[in-house]
Structure 1
Amino acid sequence: MRLRILATSDLHMHLMAHDYLADRPSDRLGLARTASLIQARRAEVSASILLDNGDFLQGGPMGDLAARRLGARDGPHPAIAAMNALDYDAAALGNHDFNYGLPFLRRSLARARFPALAANLTLRRGPDFPAWCLIRRDLVDDRGGRHPLCVGVIGFLPPQTEEWDQDLRDQMRCHDIIQTAQRAVPALRAAGAQLIVALSHSGIGPPDATPRMEHASLALAVLPGIDVVIAGHTHEVFPGPRWQGRPGIDADAGMLAGKPAVMPGFGGSHLGVIDLRFRLQDGIPRLSHATSRAEAVPPDTPICDRVARPLLQDHRRTLRQLSTRIGRSMTPLNSHFAVVGHDAGLRLVNLAQRWHVKHRLEGGPDAHLPVLSASAPY
């Protein structure tokens, strides 16, 4: 009997297969292309689960425009519309999903037809986001018999989230990932979970846990009770050759501490595919074998109309916004040589930032203070 887990991570609003800054189609990124691979891999098996590992609401011009418009619009956030169209079963919240504030996050998730999980997060006001959820699937044996399986999915995000968004510090607390898991996993088992999948919006990291570690996916895999790990946050790909020789990691088989795991890049560049096989033991499905891979989305993968169609209005609005002329420069602007000297493009950004801040300070008690402006060439 077989269950397939499909996973994306760190989409960062790369929904359409389009590079908005270069204004040309992209053959590397975009959930609308990944969706075609998702549908193909789903069709190969009788039972599957589709998960996202966080950082799906923030990033790129479409993300900024959606954040500005969400309060004045009737439809769902474009990322939610795309994920609903693909019938995601669950998602974890990543640190960047909080960048636009809690009210924005709650409004965005209100239209989601899937739970957004954050086990190690508590809010000072209002209900917490769910820590975990249960997903039920029927596994089909060789004779066509069906056997129910209850899958528990739990989400984690970096404890540093509360520090990276300083304006959120009085609104929420982000707790240690490993300590939270040690408390939550027994509760999830008691609720009926026969298999536990950790959506770890966290890098792979070392096998030994340290307090409030940012990269905790390998340390999570070490814990008894965790069966599968989806890693993310660092935009890397696992399994793969760069992980060879590290303690606790099987870079060929895709195992962390002996548990099947995957990290599927970013922006829809890869699809995580974990195949789990089960045998009946006393009439109950027991995990017997697992394989894991991060499958790169081929450049010639077609766009999935099911995902692209609900995004067309936001796509066109983003293109119009970026084509709006805001001024004219008599100096060529680029960042080709930023690392070796002055850069006209960065200087323009610095001047604009300084002008804006000085304008906002006018008439206030801090108007006399000097304004410093910094920008980075990446």
Structure 2
Amino acid sequence: MSGLRTFTLTVMGTTDLHGNLFNWDYYRDREFDDFAHNDVGLAKISTLVSRVRADVGRHRTLLLDAGDTIQGTPLAYYYARVEPITRTRVHPMAAAMNAIGYTAAAVGNHEFNYGLPVLRMFERQLDFPLLAANALDASTGLPAFQPYVVKTVWRTGGPPLRVGVLGLTNPGIAVWDRAHVEGVMTFPGLVEQALHWVPEIRRKADLVVVVAHSGADLSSSLGDQVPFPENCAELVAETVPGIDAVLVGHAHVEIPERFVVNKVTGRRVLLTEPLFWGKRLSLMEFDLRHDGRWELEGSRSSVLSTATAEEDPRIVRLLRHDHEKVVSYVNARIGTCVAPMSAERARFEDTPALRFINHVQALEIAKSTSLPVLSLCAPFNRAAAIPGGEVSVRDVAGLYIFDNTLVGVRLTGAQLRDFLEESARYFARVSGRGPFTAAEVSADVPDYNFDIAYGLTAPLTYTIDIAEPEGSRITRLAYDGEPVADADEFAVAVNNYRHAGGGDFPHIASAPVLHDRQQEIRQLLIDWVRAAGVLDPAGFTGTDWRLVAGGDPVIVSTNE
């Protein structure tokens, strides 16, 4: 027994960084803060990583990321569209991750949002591999990205330890970014590809860690559009023998530590997911023993909060100039607003803020059709508020925080009703008119899956009766004062996420396309304000839809 050796490996993990480099809110032009007083950004992650390395020894650590890195903030948009990255202009997120010393990262679905040239340029700029075993070249069937990497840890006090890292991405990419990947790449299921690759990795490695851009709990917003689930990291751990741990991403939830039992081997598999935007760093610790070969004896995980850390001065010095460019861009004046315009209550009543978005979308679609034009959009950002007085890029961009493009489709009246019924699932069923808190009337549906409708040249009016069961909530649906007939036809503005099937809304994905010019909706809003010079909320005031219970208006308080 004297030959036995032990070693503890620490594997750190981040996920869903979404372009958060510093602890900065570009939409509010101030340090980031939320209701829980979290902090965000790679600069703070860097400090936590340095602390861990100092505590256990850098040679005893690896650092992984589970994807969604280059989309989600004005900084990400700026270096994809305003001043795109090139061979000599390195993406700030790549520069930061290189400086911090990442070992490997998975490809997230939002990596594809700006198209393959931007993603490939980002990939070339990294000092570490970008992994995606289930992203395949459509023509050859071969991996379009490196599927895995095996890292050797030499300084164990004994034999070297070989660690295999398998990257898996989300099959929803085939739907959500169809415009960029159709005919170029295919995205088979995570379980299927893990079953293919893990045995090969296991032959080469003593420890196998999966980085999966897929939520832990089995679920999907894709319906039957793809034959694979969107979220299935726990299923991968249960189904595929030979995996020791999974770093989970995509779902934007925090899992400090979870164990599942593999159904083939009976061994426990560790799962962890750190909170998004760099709010948390996952810490996985693996106790290994060598007796002829390395064997895993125990594992555990926890999460560290970036709110406990200062920004790493080294990262600040390295990338301050890139950050300041973005701050100048988003603060550039583009017009004025007659009076403040807020999205705070847009989930519960018709607001000028959402009507403004719908109006601009509808104007573009009207250029491509003679049908009556409707528009659909969701209250993406409850905190969005355009002030009275001078209006900047960031003020308008705050209304529309996603990098979606505009699509126009043809829907019948019956299809429109079905769509609005799906949207109305956003609300919990209640009795009485209230008053209610926002939480009491809200079901477990994200804000981006509550679409609000608007008519361009004539009002589209309807009520959402949340005393009724799901599927029977849309009442008094009318266009220009006349009840909408099943056979009526409309041109409807939606975003590309919805058109691709995001949220699994009925009819949209298969609807005939009338308009698709790859126009970014956020930029259309900015351009409209810049061209008009003045934004007047009075021009977007109206009450086309109402929230009722048993026909009576519902009273909802947003003060919680």
Task: Indicate whether the TM-score tops 0.5.
Answer: yes
Q: 2:118 aligns with which of 104, 117, 123?
A: 104
Whole-angstrom distance in 1 between the partners of 2:318 and 2:48: 18
1:123 shift after superposition: 2.1
Check the 8 A contact 2:131/2:146 in 1, yes or no: yes
Aligned to 2:294: 285
* 2:455 equivalent in structure 1: none
Structure 1: tracts of 5 or more residues without a match: 250-255
2:341 is matched with 333
Letter in 2 for 1:31: L
Match status 1:313 vs 2:325: no
Q: Which runs of 5+ in 2 are unaligned?
A: 1-6, 33-37, 220-225, 381-560
**Equivalent residue for 2:65, pick from 39, 43, 52:** 52
Q: Matches of 2:120 and 2:177 in 1, distance apart?
A: 16
Using the TM superposition, give the Cα deviation of residue 150 of structure 1 relative to its aligned residue in structure 2, in angstroms: 0.9
How far 1:217 sits from its partner (Å)? 1.0
Matching residue of 1:81: 95
Contact 1:16–1:311 (CA<8 Å) still a contact in 2? no
- 8 Å CA contact 2:85–2:91 kept in 1: the answer is no
Letter in 1 for 2:333: R
1:64 to 77, 83, 97: 77
What residue is the counterpart of 1:236 in the other structure?
253
User: Which residue of the partner structure matches residue 305 of structure 2?
Assistant: 296
Q: CA distance change for structure 1 residues 322 and 73 in 2, over 3 Å: closer, same or farther?
A: farther
Matched, 1:276 2:289: no
Following the alignment from structure 1 to structure 2, what is the Cα–Cα distance between the partners of residues 340 and 25?
Answer: 29
Contact 1:119 1:130 in 2 (8 A): yes
Deviation at 1:71, TM superposition (A): 4.8
Structure with more contact order per residue of length (Cα contacts < 8 Å, sep ≥ 6) = 1
Q: CA deviation at 1:163?
A: 0.6
Q: CA deviation at 1:116?
A: 0.2
Q: Give yes or no for contact 1:5–1:49 (8 Å, CA) kept in 2.
A: yes
Please state whether the residue corresponding to 2:19 is helix, strand or coil: coil
1:172 counterpart = 2:185: yes
Write the deviation string for residues 97-135 of structure 1: whole angstroms up to 9, x where unpaired.
111111110011111100000001112369711000111
| Shift in Å, 1:60 | 1.0
Percent of paired sites with the same residue: 34
Q: Structure 1: how far apart are the matches of 2:183 and 2:11?
A: 37
Cα RMSD between the aligned structures?
2.3
State the distance in 1 between where 2:166 and 2:87 align: 31
Task: State which of 104, 107, 129 in structure 2 corresponds to 1:115.
Answer: 129
**What SS does the aligned partner of 2:329 have?**
helix
Q: Give yes or no for the alignment of 1:14 onto 2:15.
A: no
Amino acid at match of 1:37: L
How far did 1:357 drift?
A: 4.5
AA of the residue aligned to 1:7 = G
Residue in 1 that maps onto 2:394? none
Letter in 2 for 1:260: L
- Distance change >3 Å, CA 221–CA 65, structure 1 → 2: same
Task: Pick closer, same or farther for the CA change 1:22–1:34 going to 2, 3 Å.
Answer: same
* Counterpart amino acid of residue 247 in structure 2: I
Q: Does 1:265 align with 2:275?
A: yes
What is the CA–CA distance in structure 2 between the aligned matches of 1:336 and 1:73, rounded to whole Å? 42
Residues 46-83 of structure 1 show CA distances to partners (whole Å, capped at 9, x for unaligned) of 31000011001111111111111225672211111110
Distance 2:267 2:23 in 1: 35
Q: Name the SS for the 1:96 alignment partner.
A: helix
- Which residue matches 1:350? 358
- In 1, are the aligned partners of 2:218 and 2:229 still within 8 Å (CA)? no
Contact 1:276/1:291, CA 8 A, preserved across alignment:
yes
Shift of 1:285: 2.0
* Alignment partner, residue 205 of structure 1: 217
The alpha carbon displacement at 1:22 in A equals: 1.1
Using the alignment, how far apart are the partners of 2:241 and 2:315 within structure 1? 38
Match of 2:547 in 1: none
Larger Rg: 2
* Amino acid aligned to 2:108: G
For residues 23 and 320 of structure 1, the distance between their equivalents in structure 2, rounded to whole angstroms, comes to 10
2:166 to 150, 154, 157: 154
Q: Secondary structure at the match of 1:338?
A: coil
Using the alignment, how far apart are the partners of 1:71 and 1:15 within structure 2? Answer: 16
How far does residue 348 in structure 1 lie from its aligned partner after superposition?
A: 2.0
Q: Provide closer, same or farther for how the CA distance between residues 376 and 290 of structure 1 changes in structure 2, counting only shifts above 3 A.
A: same
- How far off its partner does 1:328 sit? 1.3
The residue aligned with 1:252 is none
What is the alpha-carbon distance in structure 2 between the residues aligned to residue 343 and residue 102 of structure 1? Answer: 37
User: 1:29 corresponds to which residue?
Assistant: 40
**CA shift at 1:303, angstroms?**
0.7
Which of residues 231, 235, 242 in structure 2 aligns to 1:215?
Answer: 231
Q: Which moved more, 1:124-133 or 1:32-41?
A: 124-133
